Amino acid sequence: ALPNALLIKLLNNICVAEFLGKEFYCLIVLAQRAGCGRPLLGTSATEDREYLLQLPAPQNVTIYSYNYQNLLRWAPVKVNSGSVLYTVQYTTKACEDWEEINCTNITKTECNFTHPFIKSYWTITLRVRAELGQVKSDWVETNDFVAKQDTIIGPPVIENVTSTSDSLLLSFLPLFKEDGFQEDNLWYNVFYWEKSTNKLKKSIQTRNTQIKLQNLKQMTEYCFQIQAELLGDLVLKSNIGLLSDIICNKTTVDDVTKTVIVVIVFVGTIVTVVILAITCYLLIKKFQKIIKYWFQPPFKIPPHIEEDLKDSEMPVLEELQNNYAEEDFWDSLSVVSSAEGSQALVRNTLNTNVHSDSRSTEREKT
């Protein structure tokens, strides 16, 4: 046993060496006896203590920033027991001191460092470490980060489109909705083109969330996209955002064109009706027999009646033939213009009546 060596024990799979006094000695301990995964060979007590009292440092430390919502994320540190806490700090180029940002002793593996006092044009560096009781890991630092230059600018959302005969009025939502937040160098690029061509694109730049596309063709469909951009300066470069989805809309017609279209449609309808009527009349005249045959087919005697008519013993057929052979009744008509003519008319009428009575008598005898 070495002097002043008090205890070597196993705590949470970590070997901890405790010593008394101000002097430290070199230790040679086998891994099997100490309970550690590897032997500690030829190290001083100070070095042993520093190594054995450390947690693994957080891995995959990355910054994710979207529309100035800034997050620091990392992979969790795994231990067999206990709850690992994390602490995040930041510093700037102007001030080398490390400051806390409301992410001290947190259990989550991310930290939202979006804050008004951290300006978007500052160059900052972040660091994070893990803690388990008195045991702490090394700090892990990030690369330099400038929100204005490194944040991802999302696509603007088009809220409404109003069409006229020669223009389209586009309205879209503000890109940054935080209260009190204002970005002086934020501009919107609007690209538009005719849908039929899909080649020639025009662009307009504005700072407002409403823009009017003018001098457009009537009754023409136009497509457009919007993109936000943070303009750079002498120090920072420009940050160009993502393009919005393509939206298409059609312009309307003015009052004069609308009246002309109504008149043309009305006249065209009348002319069409007249042409159809004449065509139908000519077709009916030309194919009158065929149409009559279709709509009035010839009369056909039912089979059972036709058989009765063909029977020679049926007296009805002979009677029908005799009646058909007789002459039709007719009356004579004379036109007179004098008294003599009136007498002749009376005589002709009497003769007609006598002739009719004689024929009726003959039929009764028969």
What pLDDT shows up at residue 38?
34
Domain for residue 317, yes or no?
Answer: no
Question: Which 8-state DSSP code applies to residue 184?
Answer: T
One-letter amino acid for residue 308 of the chain: D
What pLDDT shows up at residue 95?
84
Asked if pLDDT for residue 293 goes beyond 80, the answer is no
Both 66 and 100 in one domain: the answer is: yes
What pLDDT shows up at residue 249?
93
Residue of 148 and 309 predicted with greater confidence: 148
Both 241 and 187 in one domain: the answer is: yes
Both 75 and 137 in one domain: the answer is: yes
Both 130 and 219 in one domain: the answer is: no
What pLDDT shows up at residue 87?
95
The pLDDT confidence band at residue 294, using thresholds 50, 70 and 90, is confident
Question: Which 8-state DSSP code applies to residue 106?
Answer: B
Pairing of β 135-137 and β 54-55 = parallel
- Provide the number of structural domains found in the chain: 4
Asked if pLDDT for residue 226 goes beyond 80, the answer is yes
Residue of 306 and 30 predicted with greater confidence: 306
- Take residue 197 and report the two structure tokens written for it: 């061509």
- Mean pLDDT of the region 279-289: 82
Asked if pLDDT for residue 255 goes beyond 60, the answer is yes
Asked if pLDDT for residue 277 goes beyond 60, the answer is yes
Both 79 and 136 in one domain: the answer is: yes
- Mean pLDDT of the region 103-124: 91
- Take residue 212 and report the two structure tokens written for it: 């009017």
Domain for residue 268, yes or no?
Answer: yes
Both 103 and 143 in one domain: the answer is: yes
Domain for residue 362, yes or no?
Answer: no
Which of 253, 279, 314 terminates a domain? The answer is 253
Residue of 94 and 226 predicted with greater confidence: 226
Domain for residue 352, yes or no?
Answer: no
Both 178 and 222 in one domain: the answer is: yes
Range of the domain at 274: 261-295
Comparing 146-150, 169-173, 239-243, 360-364, the range with the smallest average pLDDT is 360-364
Both 66 and 132 in one domain: the answer is: yes
- Take residue 91 and report the two structure tokens written for it: 């510093």
Domain for residue 182, yes or no?
Answer: yes
Both 159 and 215 in one domain: the answer is: yes
Are 6 and 19 contacting, i.e. CB atoms less than 8 angstroms apart?
yes
What pLDDT shows up at residue 129?
95
Are 131 and 105 contacting, i.e. CB atoms less than 8 angstroms apart?
yes
The domain that contains 187 carries what CATH number? 2.60.40.10
What pLDDT shows up at residue 28?
32
Domain for residue 245, yes or no?
Answer: yes
Q: pLDDT of 3-50, one tens digit each?
A: 333 333 333 333 333 333 333 333 333 333 222 333 333 334 443 444
The three-state secondary structure class of 35 is: coil
Q: Which residue has the tokens 């005799």?
A: 322
Which of 253, 269, 304 terminates a domain? The answer is 253
Q: pLDDT of 156-181, one tens digit each?
A: 999 999 999 889 999 998 887 654 45
What pLDDT shows up at residue 323?
55
Both 43 and 84 in one domain: the answer is: no
Which of 253, 287, 310 terminates a domain? The answer is 253
Both 78 and 137 in one domain: the answer is: yes
Comparing 1-15, 101-115, 197-211, 235-249, the range with the smallest average pLDDT is 1-15
Q: What percent of the chain has pLDDT over 70?
A: 65
| pTM, rounded to two decimals | 0.56
Asked if pLDDT for residue 94 goes beyond 50, the answer is yes
Domain for residue 344, yes or no?
Answer: no
Asked if pLDDT for residue 310 goes beyond 50, the answer is yes
Both 130 and 173 in one domain: the answer is: no
Asked if pLDDT for residue 312 goes beyond 70, the answer is no
Tell me the CA distances in angstroms from 200 to 213, 224, 296, one per residue in order. Answer: 15, 12, 66
Pairing of β 202-206 and β 186-194 = antiparallel
- How high is the mean pLDDT of the chain? 75
Asked if pLDDT for residue 236 goes beyond 50, the answer is yes
The pLDDT confidence band at residue 272, using thresholds 50, 70 and 90, is very high
The pLDDT confidence band at residue 297, using thresholds 50, 70 and 90, is low
Domain for residue 224, yes or no?
Answer: yes
